[in-house]
Amino acid sequence: MHIIIMRHGDAEPLKYDDRSRELTYFGQEQAATAGAWLSKHYQGNKIELGMMSPYIRARQTMEIVSQKIDIMHQRVSTDITPEGNIWLTHDYIDYLLEEKKVSNSLLLVSHMPFVSYFLDELIGEQHSLFFDTSSIVVVDYQPDTHSGKVLEVYHPL
């Protein structure tokens, strides 16, 4: 099982509220390039489920990525916001696997610091990797041990 953790693309500065920040043109390009990388990485395979934060920039990133690789189902999750609960999300993914709602691949598009802490939770080690905008980490996740290991890391240029 691959869990793909991605940070949203570059976003405009904070104006009114964090939830409403949109991707910049550069952020849109980053998301498209990251989506193309995912498409090559999966060589025509589909991603079973894409989960995204309800924040505008995460939703825009998912929309752009899904133009490059087929994401069979998409779902907004209020648990994967910048201050989201990593343990609740981990439990939810285990539930999805147990119930056979996902068996092969899951993409999460979220924010710092959630993506960094969630990666640490999945691999059982504290590295606190800094995700640049549109960075991706692919984790080979083992449901029987509830943990995984990093397979690949993509950082945009």
Q: Averaged over 74-102, what is the pLDDT?
A: 95
DSSP string, 11-74: BPPPSS-GGGPPBPHHHHHHHHHHHHHHHHHHTTPPEEEEEE-SSHHHHHHHHHHTTTS-EEEE
Rounded mean pLDDT, 59-85: 96
Q: Is 47 exposed, middle or buried (0-12, 13-18, 19+ CB in 10 A)?
A: buried
CA distance linking residue 94 with residue 72, whole number of Å:
19
pLDDT value of residue 96: 95
Report the mean per-residue pLDDT for the chain. Answer: 94
Look at residues 53, 44, 111 and name the one whose alpha carbon lies nearest to residue 78: 53
Quote the CA–CA distance of 17 and 19 in Å, as a whole number. 6
pLDDT in tens, 135-146: 999 999 999 999
Q: Report how far residue 40's alpha carbon sits from residue 21's, in angstroms, rounded to the nearest whole number.
A: 29
Segment 106-134 shows an average pLDDT of: 94
Cα four-point dihedral sign 38, 127, 28, 156: negative
Task: Name every residue whose Cβ is closer than 8 Å to that of residue 3 and which is 6 or more positions away in sequence.
Answer: 93, 105, 106, 108, 122, 138, 139, 141, 148
Q: What is the pLDDT of residue 44?
A: 63
Of the chain, the percentage scoring pLDDT greater than 90 comes to 88
pLDDT number for residue 16: 84
pLDDT at 14 over 90: no
Percent of the chain with pLDDT over 70: 99
pLDDT of residue 92: 96
